[in-house]
A = this chain, B = another copy of it.
Amino acid sequence: MKFSKSSDLALHGLWQLAVKKKKMLLVAEMARAQKVSETYLAKVFQKLARRGLVKSTRGKKGGFTLAKSPAEIAITDVVRAIETDEPLFTCLGPERGCRGGDQCELKKVFAEAEQRLYDTLSKYTFKDLIERSRADCRKAWLG
């Protein structure tokens, strides 16, 4: 189990925006930094824009800026914006005549585990992580 490549892309793109402290980064610039196509990067960042995490500027010189300060963006906000709402565990019970629904005990356990995971990701913002990070982890994204 792992988060999608789109989540990785979103996290690193926001990290780059937060570290560079420039008002705007071009789509081309961000895509080059992450070695992905501009189309793919733009698609992922439109999802972040819809959740109010970044603002987009259209056109040939189009790009993205942070819509909030790094202190206001928790890691969970990013992952929630990108990942689907599909639960961790799929109950096959209904196909077999179990009408437990939300009362399915396996489902409840996985829902609790998922909540713990997102609670942890809620505790940290980009500001926290950048402040604690090694200098070379910040510098790597400045080029």
Q: Name A's B-contacting residues (CB within 8 A).
A: 1-5, 7-8, 11-12, 15, 33-35, 75, 79, 83-84, 86-90, 92-93, 95-100, 103-106, 109-110, 112-114, 116-121, 124, 128-130, 132-134, 136-137, 139-141, 143
Contact = CB atoms under 8 A, between A and B. Distances in A.
A137 B118 CA distance: 28
Contacts of A97: 136, 139-140, 143
Given A105-B133, A116-B116, A93 B140 contact: yes
Given A106-B15, A117-B116, A33 B96 contact: yes
Each complex incorporates copies of this chain amounting to 2
B2 A87 contact: yes
B140 A96 contact: yes
Nearest to A86: B2
Contact of A89 (B2, B89, B100, B116): B2
A141 B96 contact: yes
B109 A121 contact: yes
A132 B105 contact: yes
Contacts of A118: 113
